[in-house]
Structure 1
Amino acid sequence: MTDIHPAAMVAAGAVIGEGCRIGPGCVIGPDVVLEAGVELIAHVMVEGHTRLGAGVKVFPFVTIGMAPQDLKYKDQPTRCEVGAGTLIREGATIHRASVGGGGVTRVGANCMLMAAAHVAHDCEIGDGVILANNVMLGGHVHVDAGAFIGGGAAVHQTVRVGRLAMVSGLAGVTNDIPPFGYVFGLPARLVGFNRIGLLRRGASRDQLRTLRLVHSLLFKEPGEFAGRLADAEQRFGHEPLVMEIISFVRDPARRRQLVRPGRMAAPELGGVDEENGDGA
């Protein structure tokens, strides 16, 4: 049965699904839809045209669907959506879209947003993404499925983070990160690929060896980048993971340049082994 605490405020018009639990101090706006089994522990505010998918769990002091931090926004009916099974920890904020994007801020299914993470207007977050504590995503950021963004990292507006990419803690990301890329530092530099994340998701040793060769070819070898990209396609185009990287690089919808290659900080300064490129 649905359980709504007497100290919660649920506006007329809100749609509350079967088995939802709404704790004390929660405020639910009139255009909100909570699908079955959503749990708002306490002191959660959900506003605007916002839908939380089945089984979403939200910890205290989270706000979802509030107006974007965009001076051009004049209370137009834009949307916010959170996919099924996503976990949102204390103090996180997810803003609804502005009028300058696609009209929706979207967080995918089975994501985890840790404490004080911020998802700005018009962001598109894929399934299974993890945002660690205090991550800051600017407006119109796209984070593809399975990516991990470390604590305190800041991602500039309109940046795209590729599938299964990893961003180190405290990184400052101002350019696009290709799929499986591993970035480190301020400003963030591409220092390897997410080997551990790929292994955990079933990549073979042969695929990892191929990706290492492609990473070196594209981001370490001299010469014109377009030529190296064509060379990678000719030599390794039979490998779907390689073609995923090439398709990402060539995508005309991208609005920023690729992140520049760099080197990991020395281990004695807190860096991670560059040779392994270990990720999440």
Structure 2
Amino acid sequence: MSIHPTAIVDPAAELDSGVEVGPYAVIGSHVKIGARTTVGAHTVIDGRTTIGEDNVISPFVSLGGPPQDKKYRGEPCELVIGERNVIREFSTYNIGTVQGGGVTRLGNDNWMMAYTHLAHDCVVGNNVIFANNAQLAGHVEIGDWVILGGFTTVHQFVRIGAHGMTALSSVLLADQPPFVMSQGDPAQARSMNFEGLRRRGFSPERIGAVKAMHKLLYRDGLTLEQATERIAALASQTPEATPDVEMMVGFLRGVAQRGIVR
């Protein structure tokens, strides 16, 4: 273990022997950090925060602080961070609240640029990219492989489905279904993330099914319920795309009163 002499690490904290802690970092008593994770200078890690292996945490990051929620009364809520994440400077990730399930969660293999914010009870998947100043309000859910453009802001309780993407300074006030690319304030659906899917190895058949979903959702003048039922039928037409269709249908059936980006 390599801990700089100016760092303050509570004796009760649990740090693997391979952890590196930089100058003037502060680590609290309920913190657990896995092997080969590095903690940058002046970073503060507090609260009931668990961090997995092989993470790179840049200087001036704040992890595990109390939620920005007036209902919070000091309950033992958590922040859980997975493995192989890069968290850049001045990012702030808060613990959860009792009302939201008690845990804020960041998955694996994520690239989180400077000034990103995860409010209480957010759940972020794997292989996501948050550009500088991407900000999530409380209870937001982000699927795998999502890319948020710089200065994107997401309203509380909003969900963004897997493989989605937002443009610079987008404001998400409604759910964004899987594969959708959005832009604007408020954000509007512009297309599907076809180039991203090609880069991830989607076959032409699977991409064709995504194109069909886009048409049903946004071009055929259907209600959300009608589009959902017709999308469900695509699985029998393109068996290879069944997991993609099921993911979309499951997402659409969970849409709340805010609806989806249009």
State the TM bucket, normalised to the shorter chain.
over 0.9
Identity across the alignment (%): 34
CA contact (8 A) 1:23 1:42 kept: yes
Alpha-carbon distance, 1:249 to partner: 0.3
Question: CA contact under 8 A between 2:179 and 2:210: conserved in structure 1?
Answer: no
Partner residue in 2 for 1:244? 247
Aligned counterparts of 1:67 and 1:224: Cα–Cα separation in 2: 41
Is the Cα contact below 8 Å between 2:86 and 2:110 reproduced in 1? yes
Aligned length: 258
* Equivalent in the alignment of 1:258: 259
Deviation at 1:38, TM superposition (A): 1.1
Deviations 1:163-197 (A, max 9, x none): 11111110000111111111111100111111111
- Compute the displacement of 1:233 (Å): 2.2
Q: CA deviation at 1:40?
A: 0.7
Q: Spell out the pairing of 1:69-148 with structure 2 (5 A cutoff).
A: 69-148=68-147
Match of 2:220 in 1: 221
2:98 alignment partner, SS class: coil
Is the Cα contact below 8 Å between 2:228 and 2:253 reproduced in 1?
A: no
Note the C-alpha offset of 1:210.
Answer: 2.4
Give, in whole Å, the separation in 1 of the partners of 2:48 and 2:139. Answer: 18
Shift of 1:131: 0.9
The one-letter amino acid paired with 2:250 is: S
1:9 matches 2:12: no
Letter of the 2:52 counterpart? G
Q: Distance in 1 between matches of 2:118 and 2:131?
A: 12
The aligned amino acid for 1:154 is T
**Is the 8 Å Cα contact of residues 112 and 129 (structure 1) preserved in structure 2?**
yes
**1:98 alignment partner AA:** T
Q: In the TM superposition, what is the alpha-carbon distance from 1:220 to its structure 2 partner?
A: 1.2
1:271 paired residue number: none
Matches of 1:67 and 1:129 in 2, distance apart?
Answer: 24
Whether the aligned pair in 2 keeps the contact of 1:49 and 1:79 (CA below 8 Å) is yes
RMSD value, Cα? 1.3
Q: Specify every segment of 5 or more residues in structure 1 that has no aligned partner in the other structure, as ranges.
A: 262-280
CA positional deviation for 1:236: 4.2
Report the CA distance between 1:256 and its aligned residue.
Answer: 4.6
Structure 2 residue matching 1:100: 3-state secondary structure: helix
Give 1:72 deviation, angstroms: 0.9
Q: Note the residue ranges of structure 2 that are not aligned, 5 or more in a row.
A: none
- Report the Cα distance in structure 2 between the residues aligned to 1:196 and 1:26, rounded to whole angstroms: 41
Runs of 4+ in 1 over 4 A off after TM superposition: none
Instruction: Give the conservation status (yes or no) of the 8 Å contact 1:178–1:258.
Output: no
Q: Distance between the aligned counterparts of 2:257 and 2:223, measured in 1?
A: 19
1:224 & 1:22 partners in 2: Cα distance?
54
DSSP 3-state at the match of 2:100: coil
Q: Partners in 1 of 2:253 and 2:223 — Cα distance?
A: 15
- C-alpha displacement of 1:257: 3.3
> Amino acid of the residue matched to residue 165 of structure 1?
G
CA displacement at 1:235 relative to structure 2: 4.1
Q: TM-score, normalised by structure 2?
A: 0.95
CA contact (8 A) 1:127 1:145 kept: yes
**Post-superposition offset of 1:232:** 2.7
Aligned residues of 1:189 and 1:259 also touching (Cα < 8 A): no
Would the aligned equivalents of 2:142 and 2:162 in 1 still touch at CA under 8 Å? yes
Residue by residue, what CA displacement relative to the aligned partner does 1:102-145 show, whole Å, maximum 9, x if unpaired? 11100001111100001100000001111110011000000011
* SS of residue paired to 2:104: strand
Equivalent residues of 1:188, 1:259 under 8 A apart: no
CA distance in 2: counterparts of 1:91 and 1:123, whole angstroms = 18
Structure 1: distance between partners of 2:257 and 2:137: 14
Q: Which residue of structure 1 lines up, in the alignment, with residue 35 of structure 2?
A: 36
Q: Is the 8 A contact 2:234 2:245 kept in 1?
A: no
CA gap 1:16/1:223 in 2 versus in 1, 3 angstroms: closer
